[in-house]
A = this chain, B = another copy of it.
Amino acid sequence: MKRCVVLLSGGLDSATVAAIMAAEGFSLCGLAFDYGQRHRVELERARTLAETMEFEEFRVVKIDLGSFGGSALTDFSLNVPKAAAESEGIPLTYVPARNTIFLSYALALAEVKKAYDIALGVNAVDYSGYPDCRPEYLAAFQAMANLATREGVEGRPVRIRAPLIDLKKSEIIARGLELGVDYSLTSSCYDPLPGGFGCGECDSCRIRGAAFATLGLCDPALAN
């Protein structure tokens, strides 16, 4: 059976990616990262999603990225911005080289599992702020990956799959709902409330909340 390594953050996007790849017939190997993030509820949600969606495998890799500092997501001395900061260049919530590190682990797991697809949930909403969410970055990662590994060198290339790349948030949600994703299980909040509910105020909550509203829905991850 063909396998896909999915970067599963526990958020809305990666849950949708998993559903899309499963619908394409892939057996899923989920990979999540414990990198000292404040929003640790996402790891519980990632595990729950992997179980619910019947992944073949789910691994949490603990990484030391937090010790490097330099981001509001991993540095507890910085405050998470609540204002509309995402339009003002690269946001404070940027983590240095995060997707590069995550994809590198995914590449290692893909090689060991003989998976030739690696999927992640980056999308257009992220472009403006995060350099490592752009299509040209993903293409460069794929080119590098196929020079890096035994599998690539021997003619079995890996593909980096970003099926949400051109979708608006509301389109992502619509697609996921078609495929049966239970978005109440997801957490995308940068600063969740007790119980894991979204704060409704951070960039991530506001973006997904607006997208659900576009579809005439309430975000099921928010407290009522």
Contacts and interface: CB of A to CB of B under 8 A. Distances in A.
A131 B112 contact: no
Contact of A144 (B94, B100, B108, B149): B100
B104 A148 contact: no
Q: How many copies of this chain does one complex carry?
A: 2
Contact of A136 (B96, B108, B147): B147
A85 interface: no
Q: Could you say which of A61, A68, A104 has the most chain B C-beta atoms within 10 Å of its C-beta?
A: A104
Size class of the A contact interface (CB-based, 8 Å): 35 or more
A64 interface: yes
Interface SS of chain A: helix
Interface string A143-162: 11101111011000000000
Interface string A115-158: 00000000000000001101011001101110111101100000
Nearest to A133: B148
Contacts of A134: 147
A99 interface: yes
Interface in A144-197: 144-145, 147-150, 152-153
A101 interface: yes
A84 interface: no
Contacts of A53: none
Interface of A: 59, 61-65, 67-70, 90, 94-101, 104-105, 107-109, 111-112, 131-132, 134, 136-137, 140-141, 143-145, 147-150, 152-153
